[in-house]
Amino acid sequence: MTMLRKSLLLMALVAALLALNVRPAQAYSFSLTTGNSALSPYPGPYATVLVTLVDSTHATITFTALDSPNNLYSYLFGDGGSVGVNVNSTNFTVSGATCVATFTSCTILNTSGGGSEDGFGNFNYSMNLFDGYTNTATQISFNLTNTSGTWSGDQNVLIANNQGALAAAHIFVADGATPNSGTPALATGYAANGGAQVPDGGMTITLLGLALAGMGLGARRKN
């Protein structure tokens, strides 16, 4: 096969893949590290959020509850505003919602609509589990379909709300790494990722250094 024919074949293959919009699944993970006043006595992070982009209009969101860093507490999802995300889309649908029970069972009450996560503002999608502590979950997952546009990457699926949070959850605090449904929760509160963090590439340090240098120069001139 000549080089020309090989090149034409490769170009045809690339064109066919682009036409089919074939792309590998991507993933983006972050933690819910900031708790409201009810959770302040208990150390974070409280949960992780995994965003998996399947293609330009489909993504999967998975919330996974964590144990505290010292293993003294277990963090669980439950009750109203169990999990919430701010989807980067004006119109989207939710499907395939599932939860993994902490104790005997967990029941998802709704899979549509937005809501408030106490202390962290409103999110355009919020899911509620049935009842309280005895119906908490260690994991909640659901699929998003963008019906008003496309997502360019996994970090583009969610967008910060007006208080700077991408996602939040209603957290129940259980005593120990093996929670018992017969023992009441120690506390219940809300946690978020603490807002979208954008590295400044060292610009702040540079400006600070220039400012300090200027102050030093001014002091020398006065002397």
What's the average model confidence in pLDDT over 5-34? 63
How do 26-32 and 115-116 pair as beta strands?
A: unpaired
**Residues 117-161 pLDDT 10s:** 988 999 999 999 998 899 999 999 999 999 999 999 999 999 999
**pTM (two decimals):** 0.76
pLDDT for 111: 72
User: In the structure encoding, which two tokens stand for residue 175, read together?
Assistant: 């005593």
DSSP the chain: --HHHHHHHHHHHHHHHHHTT----EEEEEEE-EE-TTTTTS-S--EEEEEEEEETTEEEEEEEE-B-TTSSEEEEE-STT-EEE-BS-SSEEEEEEEEEESSS---EEESS--EE-TTS-EESEEEEESSSGGG-EEEEEEEEEESSS--SSGGGSB---TTS-SEEEEEEEEESSS--TTS--SEEEEEE--S-----TTHHHHHHHHHHHHHHHHHHHH-
Residue ranges per structural domain of the chain = 19-217
pLDDT in tens, 168-219: 999 999 998 778 888 899 999 999 998 533 333 333 333 334 333 444 434 4
Q: Is there a contact between 112 and 123 (Cβ–Cβ < 8 Å)?
A: no
